[in-house]
Amino acid sequence: MTALELDGVHTYYGESHILQGLSLSVEAGEIVALVGRNGVGKTTTLRTALGLTPPREGTVRFDGTDVTGMEPHEIAARGMGWVPEERRVFSHLTVAENLRVAAHSAADPDARIAEAYELFPALDRFADKEAGDLSGGQQQMLAIARGMVGDNDLLLVDEPSEGLAPQIVEDVVEALRAASADTTMVLVEQNFRLAMDLADRFYLVDHGVVVEEGETAGVTSDDERIRRYLTA
Amino acid sequence: MVVVLYMGLFAMSFDFVSGYTGYLSFGHAAFYGTGAYFVVLAANGQVPGIPGGTPFMITLVLGAVLAGLLALVIGSVSFRLTGVYFAMITLGFAQVIYELIRSWGYVSTNPTEGATVSGDALAIGVPYVDALSLDVGRLTGESVENLLGLGIDLSATVVSYYALGIVVVVCYFAMQRIVHSPFGRVMIAIRENEERARAVGYATYRFKLAAFAVSGFFGAIAGGIFAAYSRSVAPDGTFYFLVTADALITTIVGGFGTLAGPIYGTLFNQGLEDVLSTESGGIATLLREGLPASALEADLFGVSLELFVNTAVDGRAPLYLGIVFVLFVLFVPNGILGTLRDRLGGTVGKRLPDHLRRYLR
């Protein structure tokens, strides 16, 4: 079953034409990576899917339902979660409150939060600490956990490794693997190796359209069809 | 001190929406004025459907409900905007209402000057039970002799202070309960990042509207108790934008997003006003009466000390409040209570005992 489908999507920021007829589909249960240079429209693709930057043309379908033009909270309520770039947590809420706010749509919020603590023991230790006081890696864990606790069927993860130390990145990768066990995932990631390592399939985006796609197995950044779109 | 109660409550209601959702309500005086005018007009039997003599506690709540509804109307338009545009449109709404009230002949024969309660004093307590109600008012309030047989006499002003204080405390705990509820967490999430709150699944527009209505409700309670105490209302003291400015200043001095902070801010500002007052307790009067004539005539950078006191101290509170405001914005941006909480690492109630214990050990 197709979890997410973008068909001929055109998205603008003011007069800037960012997505220029982008199409992609994500099957339930898989991890799909969006790769490409900075500024080609990867984050905008996630924002378009979630309704934060609605498309002017094209359609977005989520679990078979046309969600084009729906409000973000309506789309989120249908089970689409977001782990935003730069580890943006609600910094003046405690860790527990961050999770509680995100778990409001879950059938059993307490159970989901307990699962998140089990997966991320550090968060349990700092449950009463304000999220803004956590380290970068801990904030990223919290952002991922927040995306998980809402009973989401699909998680949009934006640049999870950005600005993190290599050791912390490994922990984040493990967390994402754990999160993907029961959630479909769309991953935007600058680190090509990491993206290929995590994802089942990839879409290579350039100038607001998909220029390459395929299985990730065996793909490296030295591949000529990839390299010319990743280098400036 | 009574002014600290109603202005403090008004500033708290301002902080409730502005400090917790991040939307600056520059038109908040509209709710304060609505509560104040409703109480006075109801006491005079000028509100259709509400007979004169209806207990103050009932008219107070009805006025607050009306202000809450007004907030829904203003908010339904204003919350389509953000940032400075939201602040400006709410200010615009309030100024329109201010001008309407100033020229609304139904209020009194001279609406520019406002209206006055013509009947008995207004009572705080249990409606229709005289034994559990106390009249409040600057001159018309009730005094208490030999309180509970303890030989304590309370003047009318002191009785008013405690009676109004109970209303303020109840309102404070109600607002505090809300900001610590799941609804309050969403308000903070909206302040931190509204887009993210929407992406988590919250219809933020509805939450903001509800917060605005609650804030308008409590703002009107503040206006209502002000009206009950002063027994008169005027457009300039209620609906005018400078009333909101007072709340803004006291909230910044006390601490944005702290709820209790505005009370400290109001106390601070009022203390400064009292110290620099032209009244007998003011520092200028004390200096003039306490210093010998030779000292008052002493030269101070080319002017006499007396002239300096008359020019730069006596009744100059607004000047120093402006300076204090600038200093707070620059050096104490979290305000009195916000800074205290930062230093203690949590709320004062929770953290101060630990710190004191450590200090005393």
**What would the pLDDT profile of A157-200 be if each residue is shown by its tens digit?**
998 888 788 888 888 888 888 888 888 999 998 888 888 889 99
User: Which residue in chain A is spatially nearest to B205 when comparing CA positions?
Assistant: A73
Q: pLDDT class for A87, splitting at 50, 70, 90? A: low
Q: What is the pLDDT of residue A1?
A: 84
CB A212 within 8 A of CB A221: no
pLDDT computed for residue B292 by the predictor: 85
**Cα–Cα dist A140/A144, whole Å:** 6
Closest CB to B199 among A72, A92, A93: A72
User: Do residues A57 and A79 make contact, with C-beta atoms less than 8 angstroms apart?
Assistant: no
Which one has a higher pLDDT value, A172 or A77?
A77
Instruction: For chain A, list the domains and their CATH numbers.
Output: 1-79+185-232 (3.40.50.300)
**Each residue's pLDDT tens digit, B40-74:** 999 998 999 998 888 999 999 999 999 999 999 99
Residue among A91, A97, A150 whose CB faces B200 most closely: A150
Highest mean pLDDT among B148-162, B240-254, B333-347: B240-254
Find the closest chain A residue to B191 by CA distance: A90
Q: Can you tell me the distance from the alpha carbon of B215 to that of B196, in angstroms, rounded to the nearest whole number?
A: 24
- Flag if B200 and A84 touch (Cβ within 8 Å): no
Residue B329 identity (one-letter amino acid) = V
For residue B23, how many C-alpha atoms fall within 13 Å in the half-sphere facing its CB?
30
Instruction: Compute the average pLDDT of residues A61-71.
Output: 94
Instruction: Answer whether B199 sits within 8 Å of A76, measured CB to CB.
Output: yes
User: What pLDDT sits at residue A151?
Assistant: 84
Would you list the DSSP string of A132-190? Answer: GGS-HHHHHHHHHHHHHTT--SEEEEE-TTTT--HHHHHHHHHHHHHHTTSSEEEEE-S
Question: Nearest by CB to A92, which of B192, B195, B203?
Answer: B192
* Residue A105 to residue B195, Cβ atoms within 8 A: no
For residue B355, the model assigns a pLDDT of 77
Q: Do B199 and A84 touch (CB under 8 A)?
A: yes
pLDDT-derived band at B226, boundaries 50, 70, 90: very high
Is there a contact between A101 and B189 if contact means CB atoms under 8 Å apart?
Answer: yes
Best residue of B196, B205, B256, B258 to probe chain A, by most A CBs closer than 10 Å: B196
Q: Over range A144-154, report the average pLDDT.
A: 88
Task: Please state which of the ranges A3-17, B100-114, B337-351 shows the lowest mean pLDDT.
Answer: B337-351
pLDDT over 90 at A53, yes or no: yes
Q: What is the mean pLDDT of residues B3-14?
A: 95
Residue A149 clears pLDDT 60, i.e. is over it: yes
- CA–CA separation, B288 and B1 (whole Å): 25
Q: Considering CB atoms only, which of A73, A93, A146 is closest to B188?
A: A93
Q: Which residues of A touch B257 (CB under 8 A)?
A: 92
C-alpha to C-alpha distance for B209 and B183, rounded to whole angstroms: 12
Average of per-residue pLDDT values in chain A: 89
- Section A47-52 average pLDDT: 96
DSSP secondary structure string, B273-341?
HHHT-SSTTSHHHHHHHHS-HHHHHSEETTEEHHHHHHHHTTT-HHHHHHHHHHHHHHH-TTHHHHHHH
A146 contacts in chain B (CB < 8 Å): 200
- Interatomic CA distance for residues A157 and A154, integer angstroms: 10
pLDDT at A200: 92
- Residue A97's closest chain B neighbor by CA? B185
Give start and end residues of each alpha helix (H) in chain B.
2-21, 29-43, 56-78, 83-102, 156-179, 182-199, 204-230, 235-238, 241-254, 261-275, 283-290, 293-297, 305-312, 317-331, 335-344, 348-360
Nearest CA in chain B to A105: B201
Inter-chain CB proximity A102 and B202 less than 8 Å: no
Distance CA A80, CA A66 (A): 13
Largest pairwise CA distance in chain B: 73
Minimal CA–CA distance to B16: which of B166, B161, B167, B190? B190
**Rounded Cα gap, residues B67 and A46, in angstroms:** 41
Q: Which residues of chain A are at the B interface, by a Cβ-Cβ cutoff of 8 Å?
A: 50, 52, 71-73, 76-77, 82, 84, 88, 90-93, 97, 100-102, 104-105, 146, 150
* CB-closest option in A82, A93, A100 to B199: A82
Cβ contact (<8 Å) for A91 and B202?
no
Of A50, A73, A93, the CB nearest to B202: A73
pLDDT tier for residue A232 given thresholds of 50, 70 and 90: low
Contact across the interface for B185 and A93, Cβ inside 8 Å? yes
How crowded is residue B294: how many other Cβ atoms within 10 Å of its Cβ? 8
User: Quick one: pLDDT at residue A85?
Assistant: 83
Please tell me the pTM assigned to this model: 0.88
**Mean pLDDT, range B257-281, rounded to an integer:** 87
User: What confidence tens digit (pLDDT) does each residue in B62-113 have?
Assistant: 999 999 999 999 999 999 999 999 999 999 999 999 999 999 999 888 999 9
- Which residues of chain A lie closer than 8 angstroms to B192, CB-CB? 90-93
Q: Contact A73/B201, CB-based, under 8 Å?
A: yes
Q: How far is A221 from chain B (nearest CA, A)?
A: 33
Alpha-carbon distance of B50 to B60, in angstroms, equals 12
- pLDDT tens, residue by residue, B155-208: 888 888 888 999 999 999 999 999 999 999 999 999 999 999 999 999 999 999
Mean pLDDT over B212-235 rounds to 95
Q: Which candidate from A52, A92, A102 shows the least CB-CB separation from B195?
A: A52
Across the interface, whether the CB atoms of B198 and A100 are under 8 A apart is answered no
Contact B201 A76 (CB under 8 A): yes
| Structure tokens belonging to residue A124 | 């349990």
DSSP B123-142: EEESTT-GGGEEEE-TTTPP
Residue A208 backbone dihedrals phi, psi, to 5 degrees? 80, 10
B interface residues, A as partner, C-beta within 8 Å: 182, 185-186, 188-189, 191-193, 195-204, 257
How does pLDDT run across B304-327, given as a tens digit for each residue? Answer: 888 888 888 887 878 888 888 899
The average confidence (pLDDT) of chain B is: 90
Q: For B283, phi and psi rounded to 5 degrees?
A: -65, -30
Q: B306: number of CA atoms within 13 Å, CB side?
A: 11
Cβ pair A112, A106 in contact under 8 A: yes
A10 forms beta bridges with: A20, A57
Q: Which residue of B has its CA nearest to A76?
A: B201
What pLDDT shows up at residue B65? 98
Distance CA A197, CA A219 (A): 10
pLDDT of residue B131: 73
Going B144 to B150 to B152 to B153, the CA torsion angle's sign is positive
Shortest alpha-carbon distance between residue A84 and chain B (Å): 8
A139-to-A168, B289, B299 alpha-carbon distances in Å: 11, 62, 62
Percent residues over pLDDT 70 in chain A: 97
The phi, psi pair for A163, rounded to 5°, reads 75, 15
Please provide the distance, in angstroms rounded to a whole number, between the alpha carbons at the two ends of chain B: 37
Q: H helices then E strands: how many in chain A?
A: 9, 10
* Chain B CB contacts of A100 below 8 Å: 182, 185
